Amino acid sequence: MGMFDGKKVVVLGVANERSIAWGIAEALHREGAELAFNYLNEALERRVRPLAESIGCKTVLPCDVQHEEQIDAMFGELQKRWGSIDAVVHSLAYAEKEDLSKRFVETSRQGFQTALDISAYSLISVAKRALPLMAERGGSILTLSYLGAERVVPNYNVMGVAKAALESSVRYLAADLGQNNIRVNAISAGPIKTLAASGIPGLRDMLTAFAEKAPLRRNVTQEDVGNTSLYLLGPLGSGVTGEVVYVDCGFSIMGF
Ligand code: NAD
Ligand code: 0WE
């Protein structure tokens, strides 16, 4: 008996086996969920499809969240195949590389728009498409944030601004969609070595310093995030909405 037996969950943001979204997918699969995945482009399709097939999933659809019609097409296809959905995982972000290394004051208008569009607005756009598919039974939406939303993390720059907008959107969506019995929450994860993090200069030192300072004296894993996602996406989180839950080995409680 799995906690997600018979539940249909859309997972956005798997790029490879190190993706946080894949850690969440594995946890959901273990608990019996039926899953659907997106891929950003054809190069990533070649990574995502075999991973999905390894857990018996054939629903793998293209969706670049910068294009409204691709979000429409994905949820249109899910409507046809599944009729309804129970949960959505939004685990994606993007900012121009140069905006994560230059002085923050140099952030361009275009760079700001790109980061906010892909990393924050997309949650609203996805929630809008999920709403009619969840309307009957209610549902749960989960996104991924980072401490850089609230505190200055060197070089996180415009991504921090985008995550602040994302966390605020979680609260506004939770207030709005509560009447449809849809919950909306975020996990604020500690740094994890994924594709999105691997291009960051100094990531190794950051991970070492994190594990020294965090109360649990280790780094956060995809499995840690997967475990908490089960709580927020499923019946154990039935009364929780609009929250940002830290999965950070305690790092953020420390003052010194
Ligand atoms: P990842 O590279 O595995 O995943 C990022 C995903 O974003 C990729 O699958 C990529 O295809 C997708 N993406 C980018 N632009 C897109 C677009 N236009 N349309 C659709 N998809 C797009 O890296 P990850 O670390 O697993 O990141 C997942 C989420 O976790 C992100 O929101 C990230 O900000 C967040 N997060 C990461 C860390 C970390 O240290 N790795 C910590 C906290 C939060
Ligand atoms: O949210 C993130 C990373 C998001 C991200 C990563 C990239 C790298 C490649 C968004 N856009 C891009 N664009 C690229 O071209 N994290 C929480 C991981 C992360 O990113 C950092 C961090 C940490 C931690 C950037 C600077 C400092 C720390």
Residues 6+ apart with CB under 8 A from 218: 211, 249
Euclidean distance between CA atoms 141 and 10, whole angstroms? 10
Local mean pLDDT, 10-residue blocks, the chain (256 residues): 96 98 98 98 97 96 98 98 98 97 97 98 98 94 98 97 99 98 98 93 95 98 98 98 99 96
User: What's the pLDDT score for residue 1?
Assistant: 85
User: What's the pLDDT score for residue 199?
Assistant: 83
| CA 155 – ligand 1 centroid, Å | 17
| CA 1 – ligand 1 centroid, Å | 31
Nearest alpha carbon, ligand 1 atom 19: 64
User: What's the pLDDT score for residue 79?
Assistant: 98
Structure tokens at 248: 């950070």
Which regions of 43-178 does DSSP assign to beta strands (E)? 60-62, 87-90, 139-145
User: What's the pLDDT score for residue 248?
Assistant: 98
Structure tokens at 243: 């929250």
Q: Which atom of ligand 1 is nearest to the CA of 12?
A: 21
Test site for ligand 1: of 91, 125, 193, 251, most ligand atoms within 8 A of the Cβ: 91
| CA 250 – ligand 1 centroid, Å | 22
Nearest alpha carbon, ligand 1 atom 41: 192
Euclidean distance between CA atoms 76 and 128, whole angstroms? 12
Domains, in order of start, for the chain: 8-247 (3.40.50.720)
3-state secondary structure of 190: coil
